[in-house]
Chain A
Amino acid sequence: MANYYDELLKICGFEDGEIKKEKLRIDKTFERLELGPEDMKTAEEWVRQNHDVELAGVRKLLRAWLKELLDMVLAKDEGKKIIYYGFPTIQGPGMAIKAAAPEELYVACPDVVLCHTLGQIFNKLTPVLEAGEENGLPPGHGLCTLQTIRVGGLAKGIIPVPDLVTGSSYYCDMGSKTDELLHEKYGHRAVYVDGSMDSRWGEYPEYLPQRVEFLGGQLNKLFEAVREVVGVEVTSAAWDKAMSISRHLFHSIGQLTQLAMADPMPISSVEVGLALQLSAGSTGKAITEGPEAIDILCQEVKQRIDRGIGVVEKGAPRVIDFAASFSDPSITHMMENAGLAVAATLLSAPPPKSIQPTTYTTPGEIRAEREMQSGIYHSSFGFAQRFVDAVKDLGLDGVIWGYQYNCRPMAEASHLIKEWVAESAGVPVLSLEMDIYDSRSYSAAALRTRVEAFAETLRVRKAVAKV
């Protein structure tokens, strides 16, 4: 007995028995997502075009994302208590909460899940975005499109109403404001993990210890709210458990990002993004499915490296981008088709070498200290410095500063970051106003000319350097 989605799910690494076993859940999920036979045709074509599905590891990653989608859409039906966190997120707290009661809780960043499934697999994010626009976040005002997806997903009943949300109040204003909008509408509790980005330009890697204590205290407070709202105690044992069960995942991701830097680039940055962002969006399938999928992928990538197979030609200019598009893989492919090896993203770049052993004792402060040291949430200068470090450490030829225009922490210093990175790293920087969540206005076609011109510049520069 064939289902209209069998073909797609097989492309995405599902096995026959598995589809059979999950049939009811899949039917229910797809019905809620309004995904019919027509959509499967689109999706099959889209996935084949945009994902390296000849690699079993890629198929398994798509499968992990799809299974995460099922878990999310059905979380309420399946009696889970639901906790959402915001992106960007401090990795760890979500994992720790989930580890404290894995059977009872569903913990994720729901908009990131929708980007990687409705966007990357079905190419059908537009109705969700439109629903978000109709429910409080209108277009034309530079409002965060990731939040628009969250609002739209809830309005359409795709994302179940959570019991608790926690936002990145230490970084952006919009995530918190959206949590508030949704609280007004659905009444769930919101915990704002606050902080303050008040360092001076040039201050990184220095910072005031008070920033760590403040943010650390806020993270610790989150666990109290979890206990109050869903009755789950996040003990230090849960932290240790989260650390140990996610160690494999992060180790695998680290290995993959390393391998992806080979010349010729053996795998598209799109697939590295699938792996990397799984750890940012999910605490469930990221742990249960992620490591195996990534390990398989690593093996396949190694074989490609051994055979000298690449997705761009050997010797192509190597660049770092801020992040691979969360929802539209065709943008990153456009860059690669222009002859650029997107060897790294800011999210996958190696951590700074300056990280010292911690002297803090509470889980919150330990995480907060780590965030200060890693630069991205330290300040725009810290953010810029990470690009500079990556260029130097990885010997890159250029930087694509594809800033998220509707993300204020990036927009506030959009041009400064370009200037600073170009000066300090000594390589060309392409400043590209873009949207990694919503490609309706910032499509591959709209960005292509600038990227191709940049690629040409880098090639000429490389050729001249050789002479």
Chain B
Amino acid sequence: MEIMHKLASHLKTRLVELNRAKQQGRKIVGYTPGGYLPEELILASGAIPICLIRGGDHSVVELTGAYLCRWIDTFCRAQIGYAVSGDDPYYSIVDLLAIPITDNHIRAISDITDHSTDIEVFPFGVPHMKEESTFSYYLHGITRLKAKLEALTGTEITKPKLREAISLCNRERELFREISLMRKSGPVPISSRDFVALNHASFLADKEVMVEILESLYKELKGRIALPDGHPRILLTGSTLAMGDSRVLDLIDEAGGEVVIEEFAEGIRPYWENVNPDGDLMKALAECYFMQRVPPAWFRPGNERRDFLIKLAKDFNVDGVIWYQLMYRESYKTESYYFPDKLKRDTGLRMLTVESDYDPSEMGPLRTRIETFIETIRGKRHG
């Protein structure tokens, strides 16, 4: 697809662009993934948002041995590795690192970056339940963030500016949603690898360029007639699908499976809901980013997500679920014990759990598991 090339070349020059913008006095605000950071606030302050989503590299994880023990989520350890080593240009360029504190793994990024690097950190809490009081707490957090951004950039986040940013981000979400929904049944016009690449790109790209790219891609896909393929349709879910962590997607592909829908705490932009552009905009942001968002597994309880997975499995006509968790993210590990029963009961589908520490030696067993799973689904469909 030509559009994917266009996107790739935009990303290639992105760092140069960011450096130039920085020299011209623009602020660059980094944030950790998880979908709880309203980019609208950063955009409306005139700063450039960058979501730090790289992962998949074991050698970076190994760099963190001096900073914490190994019992923390692999992706989060990787972020610490990038931050403390100074090897990741995106970490080096940010003027502020905003961190929605979701669970203790993300908190590790905040504490260690704060203490052990020169990066300025701004943590704010994301509660683990949806109630009036938790809504207020989240709203208070993003209100503090707003003030922080205004102080950083010297720009007041006015209502018109915020509304403009909301409208841009809404359009981005809408396009992701429409493109994703094209995979609900029948032939799939866009591979999961491309869809995930778009998601990852959207964390780094210029927002307007990104929306343009999505617009033209959407048009192109609508006109395309895909050939029926008959590959087993897979729902891929889990904790983090980082940029650069493509092993599971590659292996599913090699084994002849087709991922038709992805659901992750980190790595896939939440695109199911839009922000209401009318009324109290801060409340509207909290409403969309916190209350309407399908929460990850660290929520208490986590049944909203599990019900959503069942719905996705049905809506997208999948043949099986692959649950990809990173080592030591205990909420995912624990849920992976009791979710398969519910999935089986409600849909008759089976689930394969795979786990990774970004270690290259896992490749063989990972391949065996995925190949067997796809093979047994195929056997069932034909048998």
Q: Does A322 contact B (CB under 8 A)?
A: no
Q: Decide if A183 touches B301 in the complex (CB within 8 Å).
A: yes
Given contacts A142-B330, A178-B334, A380-B111, contact A411 B123 (CB under 8 A): no
Instruction: Of the listed stretches A11-19, A91-99, A188-196, name the one at the interface; the rest are far from the partner chain.
Output: A188-196
From B66, B107, B333, A197 is in contact (CB under 8 Å) with B107
The answer to whether A408 touches B137, judged by C-beta atoms less than 8 angstroms apart, is no
Residue-by-residue, is A365-395 near B (CB-CB < 8 Å gives 1, otherwise 0)?
Answer: 0000000000000011100000000000000
- A198 to B43 CA separation, bound complex (whole angstroms): 24
Which residues A8-31 have CB closer than 8 A to chain B? none
With A141-B327, A174-B330, A197-B107 as given contacts, are A408 and B71 in contact (CB-CB < 8 Å)? yes
Query: Is the C-beta of B67 less than 8 angstroms from some C-beta in chain A?
Result: yes
Separation of A414 and B65 alpha carbons in the complex (Å): 11
A residues near B107, Cβ cutoff 8 Å: 197-198, 380, 409, 412
Q: Is the CB of A415 within 8 A of B66?
A: yes
B104 interfacial by beta-carbon distance below 8 Å: yes
Cβ–Cβ contact A406 & B71, under 8 A: yes
**A192/B129 contact (C-beta < 8 A), A202-B114, A412-B68 known:** yes
Say whether B330 contacts A141, CB under 8 Å.
yes
Cα of A409 to Cα of B330 in the assembled complex, Å: 12
Query: Contacts of B111 on A, CB cut-off 8 Å?
Result: 201, 379-381, 412-413, 416
Bound Cα distance A380, B112 (Å): 10
A413 and B112: CB pair below 8 A? yes
The answer, among A174, A178, A196, for a CB contact under 8 Å with B137, is: A196
Q: A141-B327, A169-B300 are in contact. Are A200 and B123 (CB under 8 A)?
A: yes
* 0/1 string, B121-136, CB within 8 A of A gives 1: 1011111110001101
Count of A residues near B, CB < 8 Å? 53
Q: Tell yes or no: A214 within 8 A of B by CB.
A: yes
In angstroms, how far is the closest chain A Cβ from the Cβ of B73? 9
Q: With A143-B333, A412-B105, A412-B108 in contact, do A181 and B338 touch (Cβ < 8 Å)?
A: yes
CA distance A143 to B121 in the complex (A): 29
Asked, given contacts A144-B330, A181-B334, A194-B129, whether A416 binds B67 with beta carbons under 8 Å apart, the answer is yes
Contact with B along A161-187 (1 / 0, CB 8 A): 000000101001110111111011100
The reply to whether A412 and B129 form a contact with Cβ atoms under 8 Å apart is no
- CB neighbours (8 Å) of A210 from chain B are 137, 140
Tell me, yes or no, whether A137 is within 8 Å of chain B by CB: yes
List B274-314 residues whose CB lies under 8 Å from chain A.
Answer: 297-298, 300-302
The yes or no answer to A299 lying at the interface (CB within 8 A) is no
- A412/B72 contact (C-beta < 8 A), A196-B137, A200-B121, A381-B111 known: yes
Given A173-B298, A177-B335, A180-B301, also A405-B128 (CB < 8 A)? no
* A173 engages B331 (CB within 8 Å): yes
Asked whether A412 and B104 contact (CB < 8 A) given A174-B330, A192-B129, A380-B111, the answer is yes
Q: CB-CB < 8 A to A200: which residues of B?
A: 110, 114, 121, 123
Are A413 and B66 in contact, with the CB atoms below 8 A?
no
Give the CA-CA distance A14 to B67 in the complex, in Å. 49
A415 touches B103 (CB 8 A): no
Identify which of A198, A214, A420 contacts B133 (C-beta below 8 A): A214
Q: Is the CB of A185 within 8 A of B334?
A: no
User: A403 with B69: in contact, given A194-B134, A196-B126 (CB under 8 Å)?
Assistant: yes
- With a cutoff of 8 Å between Cβ atoms, the chain A residues found around residue B218 in the complex are none
- A151 to chain B: closest CB distance in Å? 10
Q: A194-B127, A196-B125, A197-B107 are in contact. Are A176 and B300 (CB under 8 A)?
A: yes
Question: How many angstroms from the CA of A195 to the CA of B137 in the assembled complex?
Answer: 9
Check A136 for interface membership: any CB of B closer than 8 A. Answer: yes
Q: Is the CB of A414 within 8 A of B115?
A: no
Report the minimal beta-carbon distance from A184 to chain B, rounded to whole angstroms: 5
A433 at the interface (CB under 8 A from B): yes
A217, CB-defined interface residue at 8 Å:
yes
A residues within 8 A CB of B300?
Answer: 167, 169, 176-177, 179-180, 190, 192, 194
- Please state if B128 and A194 are interface contacts (CB–CB under 8 Å): yes
| Chain B minimum-CB-distance residue to A180 | B301
Whether the Cβ atoms of B338 and A184 lie closer than 8 Å is yes
What chain B residues lie within 8 Å of A167 (beta carbons)? 300
Residues on B with beta carbons closer than 8 Å to the beta carbon of A174: 330-331, 334
Whether, in the assembled complex, A348 has its beta carbon less than 8 Å from a beta carbon of chain B, the answer is no
Residues of B within 8 A of A379 (CB): 111
Q: Check B128 against A142 for contact (C-beta < 8 Å).
A: no
Candidate in B108, B124, B297 with the most chain A CB atoms within 10 angstroms: B108
A199 interfacial contact with B, CB 8 Å: yes
Q: In the complex, which of the residues B69, B103, B136 contacts A173, with contact meaning CB atoms closer than 8 Å? A: B103
Q: Does A123 contact B (CB under 8 A)?
A: no
Contact string against B for A residues 206-225, beta-carbon threshold 8 Å, 1 for contact and 0 otherwise: 00001101100110000000
State A217–B327 Cα separation when bound (angstroms). 34
A143 close to B334 (CB less than 8 A): yes
Decide if B83 is an interface residue (CB 8 Å cutoff).
no
Alpha-carbon separation in the docked complex, A172 to B298 (Å): 10
- Residue in B closest to A198 when the chains form the complex, CB atoms: B125
B114 touches A196 (CB 8 A): no
Q: Is the CB of B69 within 8 A of A172?
A: no
Instruction: State A136–B337 Cα separation when bound (angstroms).
Output: 6
| A140 to B, closest residue via Cβ | B327
Residue among A185, A218, A412, A415 with max Cβ neighbours from chain B (10 Å): A412
Residue of B whose beta carbon sits closest to that of A167: B300
B117 CB to closest chain A CB, in angstroms? 11
CB of B116 closer than 8 Å to a CB of A: yes
Q: How far is the CB of A389 from chain B (nearest CB, A)?
A: 19
Cα distance, A428 to B137, chains bound together (Å): 40
Q: Does B141 contact A (CB under 8 A)?
A: yes
Q: Are B127 and A199 in contact (CB under 8 A)?
A: no
Cα A213 to Cα B132 with chains together (Å): 12
Contacts of B121 on A, CB cut-off 8 Å? 200-201
| B101 within 8 Å of A (CB atoms) | yes
Q: Which residues of chain B from 329 to 381 have any CB-CB distance to chain A below 8 Å in the complex? A: 330-331, 333-335, 337-338
List A residues 54-113 near B (Cβ within 8 Å): none
CA of A381 to CA of B112, assembled, Å: 11
> A211–B334 Cα gap in the complex (Å)?
28
In the assembled complex, the CB of B264 is this many whole angstroms from the nearest CB of chain A, namely 17
Given A197-B107, A218-B133, A411 contacting B72 (CB threshold 8 A): yes
Q: Which of B66, B126, B301, B333 contacts A141 (CB 8 A)?
A: B333
Q: Is B328 an interface residue (CB 8 A)?
A: yes
Q: 5 closest Cβ contacts across the A-B interface?
A: A196-B125, A198-B125, A408-B104, A412-B108, A192-B300
Q: A198-B107, A380-B107, A416-B115 are in contact. List 6 more A-B contacts (CB 8 A).
A: A174-B334, A198-B141, A200-B114, A218-B133, A408-B105, A414-B68
- A: residues with CB less than 8 A from B are 136-137, 141-144, 167, 169, 172-174, 176-181, 183-185, 190, 192, 194-202, 210-211, 213-214, 217-218, 379-381, 403, 405-406, 408-409, 411-416, 420, 433
A-B contact pairs, 11 of them (CB 8 A): A142-B330, A169-B129, A176-B128, A190-B301, A198-B124, A198-B141, A214-B137, A381-B111, A409-B104, A415-B68, A420-B115
Which residue numbers of B lie inside 8 Å of A, CB to CB? Answer: 66-69, 71-72, 101, 103-105, 107-108, 110-112, 114-116, 121, 123-129, 133-134, 136-137, 140-141, 297-298, 300-302, 327-328, 330-331, 333-335, 337-338
